[in-house]
Amino acid sequence: MVFSDLFFIYVFLPVCLIFYYAVKSNKGRNAVLALFSLVFYAWGEPVWVILLVISAVVDYCNGRFIEYCRKKKNGKEVLGVVSSLVINLGILALFKYSGFVIENINVLTGLSLKVPQFALPIGISFYTFQTISYTVDVYRGKVKVQRSFLSFLLYVSMFFQLVAGPIVRYESVAEEIDCRRVSLGEINSGFIRFVYGLAKKVIISNCMGELAASSLGFETAPSSVAAAWFGVFMYALQIYFDFSGYSDMAIGLGMMFGFHFPENFNYPYISRSATEFWRRWHISLGSFFRDYVYIPMGGNRKHMYLNLAVVWFLTGLWHGASWNFIIWGCGFGLLIMIEKLFLLNILEKIPALFSHIYALFIILIGWTVFWFTDMGKLGVCLKTMFGFGGVPLGDELTKSALLNNLYIIVIAVVISVPVYRFISGKAEKLERRSAAGFVTVKSVQTIVTAALLLLSSVMLVGQTYNPFLYFRF
């Protein structure tokens, strides 16, 4: 089940909310939410619920083991962390990376080992990191152990962030799991945030995705240089509105049930460097690697460049078992190293326009690498983008695609920068200054929200292209 589905919007979510708020006790609400979360996860692939529950049991027990050892002062607490890492990363490696490893062993050695054909359990990369972070934080003494398995299962399985993040730390929601209050104002704000995320996904991302696929889904080569760049630009918009839209929906749904999740995006395409881009893109993943890999290895104090290399190799590998993801991650890691060495100083001194152009250029090249799991097609596309593909500069199909969709592309570009935040801030100030206005910010917001929900619903009725890109990871 996905959020951008009419059944979820008009059946699953309302029924869940009715049962949830019909129960008055916090423990009862936890049980309702955990049950609906398991149903949500099992909707498409029921068997993977077993894996999710196993992961929850493992780290619930690891947390209790660490607490027991700490009370006994026997110095064995670290075994709980080792257990969490070995079991969780072992499961992740089995399902996500075993085929990739064996394929490469066969290529390097000439062997014909059988490649396992495991389906990737949805969301495994996200909930694996969540459970590991809990165990590590209990070991560090940052959070108290959760003694209720139901409460811990709820933390692991909350459907609004289970399958595509953001990666939520236990410390962020520990208090709200045990005791939370929700006002009608927060429910309303959460609903508005959900609808905005839905619109980003259905109205913008899906349109950009179809345009990207038409230009980059070639058999031999892009039809022109313009087609290659146009396709990559559309993909950059698609993946941003897809993932940030999902994060908005997750955050909005959390608010509707009394949870407050961290922001996952902060207008990444206004960045002036690769370093800044990764402070603004998928913030929860970046902070996870910073706090659980980079800093424990020494951070900026010891072997900084080695630490960066490890983090960015892992960042690429986390996104998928394919060489293009590893190259993508290591490429950004190398750029960030160069920026830390000297380039950031230059970028800060030159006019902002040029540093923005630099950042957008490397981001688009990065998304090109990210798109193609076929390394041959990746090479062809990159050569074409720089005029070495033996194809014309432009073609009529690309020109037609651009002109026919110019309005939605312009809207997408405008929304991807902080224009809305600026306008809404100005409108609120203007409203406060006026003694009495016929139109308030809230009334406009209500009208816009209703219109976006209606338009998104209408588009979902006839839409066949509706993937969530980050379900792959």
The reported pLDDT for the residue numbered 467 is: 61
Give the separation between CA 308 and CA 365, rounded to whole angstroms.
20
When pLDDT is cut at 50, 70 and 90, the band that residue 47 belongs to is confident
- Phi-psi group of 2: left, alpha or beta (phi > 0 → left; psi -120 to 50 → alpha; rest → beta): beta
Q: Which residue has the tokens 């520990």?
A: 174
Across 104-132, average pLDDT: 87
The fraction of the chain above a pLDDT of 70, given in percent, is: 93
- Higher-pLDDT residue of 287 and 118 is 287
When pLDDT is cut at 50, 70 and 90, the band that residue 16 belongs to is very high
Active site residue 319: yes
The fraction of the chain above a pLDDT of 90, given in percent, is: 75
What Cα–Cα distance (Å) separates residue 465 from each residue in 75, 85, 107, 421? 54, 37, 35, 30
**Is the Cβ–Cβ distance between 55 and 156 less than 8 Å?**
yes
Give the separation between CA 296 and CA 42, rounded to whole angstroms.
36
CA dihedral 83→85→86→88, nearest 10 degrees, is 100
Question: Looking at the predicted structure, is the pLDDT value of residue 347 above 80?
Answer: yes
Q: Write out the chain in H/E/C secondary structure.
A: CCCCCHHHHHHHHHHHHHHHHHCCCHHHHHHHHHHHHHHHHHCCCCCHHHHHHHHHHHHHHHHHHHHHHHHHCCCCCHHHHHHHHHHHHHHHHHHHHHHHHHHHHHHHHCCCCCCCCCCCCCCHHHHHHHHHHHHHHHHHCCCCCCCCHHHHHHHHHCCCCCCCCCCCCHHHHHHHHHCCCCCHHHHHHHHHHHHHHHHHHHHHHHHHHHHHHHHHCCCCCCCCHHHHHHHHHHHHHHHHHHHHHHHHHHHHHHHHCCCCCCCCCCCHHHCCCHHHHHHHCCHHHHHHHHHHHHHHHCCCCCCHHHHHHHHHHHHHHHHCCCHHHHHHHHHHHHHHHHHHHHHHHHHHHCCHHHHHHHHHHHHHHHHHHHHCCCHHHHHHHHHHHCCCCCCCCCCHHHHHHHHHCHHHHHHHHHHCCCHHHHHHHHHHHHHHHCCCCCCCHHHHHHHHHHHHHHHHHHHHHHCCCCCCHHHHC
Select which of 260, 282, 303, 319 is catalytic.
319
| pTM of this structure | 0.92
The reported pLDDT for the residue numbered 469 is: 66
Among 40-49, 267-276, 395-404, the range scoring the smallest mean pLDDT is 40-49
Across 114-131, average pLDDT: 86
Q: What would the two tokens of residue 357 be?
A: 């152009």
